[in-house]
Amino acid sequence: MAGAIIENMSTKKLVIVGVILVIFQVFSFLVGGLIAPSPTSAVHYMATKCVDVRKHHQNSKWFMPWGPNQCEKIRDFDEAMIKQIEANEIVFAVHIPLPNSEMSPWFQFMLLILQFDIAFKMGNQIEEGAVVTIDVSLAYRDDTFSKWTEMAHSIEQRKLSCNFSTPKTNENEGRHYECDLLPFMELGSVAHKYYLFNMRLPVNEGKKINVGIGEIKDIHLVGIHQNGGFTKVWFAVKTFLTPSILIIMIWYWRRIMLMTRPPVLLEKVIFALGISMTFINIPVEWFSVGFNWTWMLLFGDIRQGIFYAMLLSFWIIFCGEHLMDQTERNRFGVYWKQVGPIVFGSFCLFIFDMCERGVQLTNPFYSIWASDVGTELAMAFIIVAGICACLYFLFLCFMVFQVFRNISGKRTSLPAMSKARRLYYEGLIFRFKFLMLITLACAALTVIFFIISQVNEGHWHWGGYTVQVNSAFFTGIYGMWNLYVFAIMFLYAPSHKRYGDDQSNAGDLGVNSGEEIQLTTTITHVDGPTEIYRMTGKESQE
What are the tens digits of pLDDT across the range 210-253?
888 888 889 999 999 999 999 999 999 999 999 999 999 999 99
Q: Which of 34-48, 445-459, 485-499 has the lowest mean pLDDT?
A: 445-459
**Residues 270/314, Cβ–Cβ less than 8 Å:** yes
Q: Work out the angle at residue 259's Cα, subtended by the Cα atoms of residues 256 and 265, and round it to the nearest 5 degrees.
A: 50
All residues at 6 or more sequence positions from 409 whose CB lies less than 8 Å from its CB, including other chains:
none
**Residues 192/142, Cβ–Cβ less than 8 Å:** yes
What are the tens digits of pLDDT across the range 331-387?
777 888 778 888 887 888 888 888 888 888 999 999 887 777 887 887 787 777 777
Query: How many other CB atoms sit within 10 Å of the CB of residue 27?
Result: 12
**Per-domain residue ranges for the chain?**
5-39+229-533, 41-226
Cα dihedral 460/465/470/474 (nearest 10): -150
For residue 72, what pLDDT is reported?
87
What are the tens digits of pLDDT across the range 515-528?
444 444 333 333 33
Q: What is the pTM of this model?
A: 0.78
Between the alpha carbon of residue 171 and those of residues 117, 121, 148, the distances in Å are 19, 10, 46
d(CA 426, CA 539): 14
Averaged pLDDT for residues 21-41: 88
Report residue 437's pLDDT band, with 50, 70 and 90 as the boundaries. Answer: confident
* CA within 13 Å, CB half, 160: 27
Annotation: CATH topology of 5-39+229-533:
Rhopdopsin 7-helix transmembrane proteins (1.20.1070)
d(CA 147, CA 169): 49
Q: Do domains 5-39+229-533 and 41-226 have the same CATH topology?
A: no
Model confidence at 448: pLDDT above 80: no
For residue 522, what pLDDT is reported?
35
Angle in degrees, 0-180, between the axes of helices 296-320 and 372-410, rounded to the nearest 10? 30
d(CA 50, CA 53): 10
User: Strand 162-163 and strand 90-96: pairing?
Assistant: unpaired
**Residues 503/485, Cβ–Cβ less than 8 Å:** no
CATH 2.60.120 assigned to domain 41-226? The reply is: yes
Q: Closest by alpha carbon to 372, among 59, 87, 114, 129?
A: 129
d(CA 40, CA 23): 27
Averaged pLDDT for residues 65-90: 84
Strand partners, 136: 154, 199
For residue 424, what pLDDT is reported?
67
- Residues of the chain with pLDDT > 90, as a percent, come to 26
User: What would the DSSP string read from start to end of 152-189?
Assistant: EEEEEEEE--EE--S--SGGGTTPBPEE--EEEEEES-
